[in-house]
Amino acid sequence: MDLALFDLDNTLLAGDSDFEWAQFLIERGVLDRELYEARNAEFLDQYRRGVLDIHAFLDFQLKPLSRHSRRQLDDWHRAFMRSRILPIINEAGRALVRRHLEEGALAAIVTATNSFVTAPICAHFGVSHLIATEPESIAGRFTGRVAGLPSFREGKVTRVEQWLAGRGRKWSDFDRSFFYSDSLNDLALLARVSRPVAVDPDETLAAHAKARGWPILSLREPHVSLGTLELPHHE
C-alpha cells in the first residue's frame, strides 16, 4: 500500500485558502478592510519567503472565528466555497488525488491552514483524512486559540507521524510514501517521504528539487492530461 500526502494551498488549489478566507470576510464587511487587508497580504508574503511567525499568524487568523457563532461561520463558509474555492480547484489536482485513491493509497491532505477552513475543501476532493492546524473549541464555540501543535514546517512531520501512530501505522508499513507540495516551508516533510514531488514550486523549492533529482510537476499547465496523469516515479 502507498501513502499519499497532499499539501493544499497552491498545490491542489491554485491559490491560498487562508488568504482567501480573510479576503472573503473583508469583502463581507466582517473584518475591517483598513485593519486587515494589508496585514493579510503581509502574512502571505512572509509565508512565501519562509519567515512566517506561525503563532502571530494564527492569532490573526483564528481570533475572528471566536467572535461569531458556529452556525454563522458555517453559513459564511458555504458561500466562501462557492465564490472563492471552487474557482481555484485544479482539475489536474483532483485527477491526481483520484488516481492515488483508485490505486488503494492511504491518502491525507496535510496543511498549515486551520481545519475549519480546510475540512470542507478536503471533503470536496474525496479525501477522508485531514491533518491541519486545529482551532481550539469549547462547548462548540471557537476560542481564537490553537489546539496542539500547528501543522507547519517540521510540525507537519510530527503531526503525520502522530496520525499514523493513531492508526497503528508507521512509515515502513508503506511500499511508497508520496508528498506533493509547492512550498519551501514543506521541505521537512518532502525530505521524509520516499517520493517527494514539487508541484508548481516556489523558487527555493524548485532549486532543492532540481539539486536532489525530485520530480517537478505542474497541475496548472494546459497540457496536463486528466485521463492519463501518471504518478511520478523517483528511485
Taking residue 30's Cβ as centre, other Cβ atoms within 10 Å add up to 16
**Residue 16 appears among annotated catalytic residues:** no
Active-site residue (options: 7, 16, 186, 202): 7
Give strand ranges (E) for the chain. Answer: 2-6, 106-114, 129-138, 141-147, 176-181, 195-199, 216-217
Contacts of 99 (CB under 8 A, 6+ apart): 229, 231
Residues 6 or more apart in contact with residue 20 via CB below 8 angstroms: 80, 84, 85, 88
The answer to whether residues 65 and 144 touch, using CB atoms and an 8 Å cutoff, is yes
Q: How many CB atoms lie within 10 A of CB 48?
A: 18
9 is catalytic: yes
14 touches 184 (CB < 8 A): no
Q: Which residues are catalytic?
A: 7, 9
